[in-house]
Amino acid sequence: MATDITMPKLSDTMTEGRLISWKKSVGDQVERGDVIAEVETDKANMELESFGAGILLEQRVKPGEMVPVGTVIGVVGPPGEKAEAKPEVVPEQPAAEVIPPAVDKTSKTAAQGSTGAMAGDVPERIMELPEAREFAKAAGDKASPRVRRLAREKGLDLAQITGSGPEGRILQEDLERFGVHEEKKEKRPAGEAAEPAEVPSAAGQPLSRMRTAIARKVSESWRQIPHFTVTVAVEVGEAEKVYRELKQAGTAVTLNDIIIKAVAATIGRFPLVNASFSQTGIETHDEINIGVAVSLDEGLLMPVIKGCQTLSVREIAARSHEVIDRARNGTIGETDLSGGTFSISNMGMLGVEQFSAIIYPPQGAILAVAAALDEAVVKGGQVVPSRIMRMTLSADHRLIDGAYAARFMAELKRVLENPIVLLI
């Protein structure tokens, strides 16, 4: 029996994906678990495995095409079996999803007052109009069902919005940006000069799906989370000595692995640093799953090392190297990118002396790690050389108060300056 290969939903925010390339050709033998294609999600490029065995009977999507989640992109079946011709899977488009042409707000208000209809309700008969059908077709070409629904709820005309997504597709951020612009226009006093319109640069470069996802995530973080920061200077001479001794003993460990272990040990005493804020209250997490920022040519990924509270430095090093390698060679999976409860961004290898990082929602904090530098410090009235690393905690003030964050950083400093406790 033939098995359909569909575009999978590889993240909570994924509604469509792009087929990058086929790894098997029509007629090739396919075993269950074989990598059959490579797809691009809103976070990363991922390998797509076959859930059936047989022969690749058909390729229904060409490399470079963008298709909705659930679309059949290929068929695998027994040798000699003919692929069943099936209609293309298209997400259901209820009439309520169709956006009517823009309606004058004054007229709409008057109509609501006489009929009692809710804002955004669309009479079914409007779908009989040729103009509505043409509008729906145009909207469908450049916006997902979710974006069309949000536009309808906000009373926005997609035809007036310039998309910033791949191939000019309209994203949720475009709706929000357009809505704010329209609101400012409505509130502008009579006679006040209008703001100059934003004109897209002719030389502008379209955002990749990864850069679009990054833009959405950091905008959400900066807009919704009240950040504050706490910085400490840590003497890391002893920690550097420990990691050099481990390397000489044959353990492929880095200073960042020791920092991850120190953070996990410290979080055990400060659970709010490992929590998340939600509308229903503070969500605490039993596991300490630490994301590590990995810089790529096309953007940034945050693979997660899970269960750090039970891992040794050597185990953290092994898992860290594994997920970072997968992130860099493009074979990382969604399970490696989800479930983080705290994050670390280390730019020490780039010589950065101090910086602060943006919290990765829905987490409540992130640690920015700078370079270890030679500095002169005063000890016992004597000026002595020391290796100093500055670390900055960015925290969600809805979860964490300044004194709590300061105590966390003081304890992290104590642990890193006495790293032998991490090996016990």
Report CA dihedral (37, 41, 46, 51) to the nearest 10 degrees: -50
Choose the catalytic residue: 28, 121, 325, 401: 401
List of residues 6+ apart from 418 with CB closer than 8 A? 238
Residue 378 — left, alpha, or beta (φ > 0 → left; ψ -120 to 50 → alpha)? beta
* Sequence letter at residue 335: T
Residue type present at position 16: E
- Is residue 397 among the annotated active site residues? yes
Cα–Cα distances in angstroms (integers) from residue 253 to residues 12, 79, 313, 389, in the given order: 33, 49, 8, 18
Residue type, position 353, single letter: E
Residues whose CB falls within 8 Å of the CB of residue 83, separated by 6 or more in sequence, listed in order:
2, 57, 58, 75, 77
Whose CA is closest to 53, among 75, 72, 31, 24? 31
Q: What share of the chain is helix, strand, coil (3-state, %, to 5)?
A: 35, 25, 40
In eight-state DSSP terms, residue 12 is T
Helix (H) or strand (E) segment spanning residue 142: helix 130-142
Strand, coil or helix: what is 335?
A: helix
Please give the span between the terminal C-alpha atoms of the chain, in angstroms, as a whole number: 56
- Quote the CA–CA distance of 65 and 126 in Å, as a whole number: 32
The answer to whether 401 is a known catalytic residue is: yes
Q: Pick from 222, 197, 152, 173: which is nearest to 394 by CA? A: 222
CA gap 193, 149 in Å, rounded: 33
**What are the catalytic residues?**
397, 401
